[in-house]
């Protein structure tokens, strides 16, 4: 016996059963008495709770599918780097100079998570170049861990992760993930001699700007090198307040903002990337001014205690506000240029 579809195409019936009506596309006709599973609903049409459950179910299925292939990688990375992360969170990453490390690493992992669907869409192709990169990363980790060289130990995290991507997913996947790996470079500490050589001129400039601004505002302030004298208090502008690491952290924040916004205008991208350096300097000056005023009005204990940590938050919030303000100004300028070009034509 055969079933008759809407387009007149006869579809053979399965043995021992009745035929199903099909249309020209091969789908069951709406009016037919077809038996089978219901068509899956589009997750976007579901309610928020059901949509979340659907996405979680999809992720669980993907993890179950990838687990047999990736579990040796995860176990190896855990054995290799868990002691390193424990040392970092108990030491360098709780200090002011390297306190930006976990923030940079967390944002980089989030960027990889956002890009991972593009990596999964690529054809799986392992790259032989990943193996020498892996050997290099393991050597850096061994040297940094045994000799307590923080730059090598943290840099090994980046190199080993890049090697894993090359071996498991190929060079095209690493090109897709180039920005997260570039972004992780900002968590690698620089040599102390280089930092000291660059930091001193920056501290002098921040101290001078702070003195000039507060003196113009009527405060009794003087300066000797990087030591500020306001009233009865002396303040030393430390590396954490106006150092190279702070500048690099704010530069990373600006590049992260650019990557999220993805402006089509090259003028806005290049302009904002260049202006991040003076924005970072201005944010450092504002931080030192805030600390100086807190010390002058509320005493040395307030300035060096809890409010000193709060000044770090002021630094990043100020930098973020300045970045948004400058970006808005560049957007207005770009629109004006487009309008003038339109009027000229």
The CA–CA distances, whole Å, from 26 to 2, 22, 42, 61, 189 equal: 15, 5, 21, 29, 62
Burial 257-285 (b: 16+ CB within 10 A, else e): bbeeeebebeebbebbeebbeebbbbbbb
Q: State yes or no: is 241 an active-site residue.
A: yes
User: Among 169, 223, 268, 287, which one carries the catalytic annotation?
Assistant: 287
DSSP assignment letter at 219: -
Q: Which two tokens stand for residue 3?
A: 């079933």
User: Among 169, 223, 241, 268, which one carries the catalytic annotation?
Assistant: 241
DSSP per residue, 11-45: EEPPTTS----B-TTSPBPTTS---SPPPPPPGGG
The CA–CA distances, whole Å, from 253 to 100, 151, 157, 161, 299 equal: 10, 21, 21, 22, 32
- Cβ burial, residue 107 (10 Å; 0-12/13-18/19+): buried
Q: State yes or no: is 169 an active-site residue.
A: no
Catalytic residues: 241, 287
């Amino acid at each position: 016996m055969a079933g008759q579809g809407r387009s007149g195409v006869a579809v053979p019936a399965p043995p021992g059963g009745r035929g199903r009506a099909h249309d020209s596309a091969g789908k069951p006709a709406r009016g037919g008495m077809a038996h089978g599973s219901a068509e899956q609903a589009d997750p976007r049409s579901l309610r928020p709770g059901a949509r979340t459950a659907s996405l979680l179910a999809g992720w669980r299925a993907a993890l179950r599918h990838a687990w047999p292939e990736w579990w040796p990688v995860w176990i190896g990375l855990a054995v290799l780097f868990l002691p390193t992360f424990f040392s970092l969170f108990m030491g360098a990453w709780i200090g002011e100079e390297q306190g930006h490390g976990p923030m940079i690493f967390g944002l980089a992992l989030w960027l990889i998570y956002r890009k991972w669907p593009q990596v999964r869409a690529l054809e799986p192709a392992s790259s032989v170049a990943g193996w020498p990169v892996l050997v290099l990363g393991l050597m850096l980790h061994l040297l940094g861990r045994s000799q307590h060289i923080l730059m090598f130990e943290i840099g090994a995290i980046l190199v080993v992760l890049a090697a894993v991507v090359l071996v498991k997913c190929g060079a095209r996947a690493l090109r897709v993930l180039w920005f997260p790996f570039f972004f992780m470079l900002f968590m690698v500490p620089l040599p102390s001699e280089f930092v000291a050589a660059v930091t001193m001129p920056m501290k002098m400039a921040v101290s001078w700007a702070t003195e000039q601004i507060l003196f113009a505002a009527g405060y009794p302030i003087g300066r000797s090198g990087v030591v500020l004298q306001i009233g009865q208090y002396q303040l030393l502008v430390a590396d954490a307040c106006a150092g190279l690491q702070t500048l690099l952290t704010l530069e990373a924040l600006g590049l992260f903002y650019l990557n999220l916004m993805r402006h089509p205008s090259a003028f806005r991208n290049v302009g904002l990337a260049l202006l991040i350096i003076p924005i970072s300097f201005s944010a450092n000056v504002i931080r030192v001014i805030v600390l100086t005023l807190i010390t002058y009005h509320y005493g040395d204990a307030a300035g060096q205690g809890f409010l000193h940590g709060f000044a770090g938050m002021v630094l990043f919030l100020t930098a973020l506000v300045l970045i948004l303000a400058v970006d808005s100004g560049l957007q207005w300028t770009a629109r004006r240029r487009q309008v003038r070009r339109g009027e000229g034509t």
